[in-house]
Structure 1
């Protein structure tokens, strides 16, 4: 786990929680996407940063920066 993030949208006052994980993909999964997901792509960090204007929230950049900085937390931080 990279981190758990909270952000409050200034106009709508909605609060968003983001859980950020890292891992490796053992195989490409050919599943249909959820209806609200238009495309799934794999991008390197530089390309992600170049697309900053497309981020839906500042949490995307914070997750990436924390990942690049080596922040990691054990998964037992989460409980069932």
Structure 2
């Protein structure tokens, strides 16, 4: 079994706030992340992130840019290749959320940084993706060929 996991995550911004999910991770406190998840067999990262955003937030989105490939190594020896995306929120549907998701939140950059200080972000990539999106460090979606 490979220790490399292909995932996708999406920075979704509305005004000065970012769509975040609060999820259970088996610890004493919940953690916060962008909508994100594994790229499933038969999918590419574009298909995966549109599906994951719908499952975790019930939001329909329009992808606007590719933030790039983030490589993250866990202390347990796993490696994640995480595709970062930016998107605009279009419409929230009335759907049940993934059972691991407690709630969705629209948070400011300051609130996300405060959660980082409290070690409440799922990984260091969460804040990095937001900062990259705000700095305009992104690429056209056409760089991904699915």
Structure-2-length-normalised TM-score: 0.49
- RCO higher in 1 or 2 (8 Å CA, sep ≥ 6)? 1
Residues 17 and 30 of structure 1: is their aligned pair in 2 closer, same or farther, counting only changes over 3 Å? farther
Q: Unpaired runs of 5+ in structure 2?
A: 1-65
Deviation, 1:37, is 2.1
* Whole-angstrom CA distance in 1 between matches of 2:95 and 2:111: 25
Partner in structure 1 of residue 95 of structure 2:
31
Higher strand share: 2
- 1:45: how far off? 1.4
State the Cα RMSD in Å: 1.4
Deviations 1:27-59 (A, max 9, x none): 222221112222222212111111102112111
Contact persistence 1:7–1:16 (CA under 8 A): yes
Give 5+ residue unaligned stretches, structure 1: none
Q: How does 1:1-80 map to 2 (within 5 A)?
A: 1-10=66-75, 12-52=76-116, 53-80=119-146
Rounded to whole Å, the distance in 2 between the matches of 1:32 and 1:16 is 27
| TM-score between both structures, scaled by the size of structure 1 | 0.83
Matched length: 79
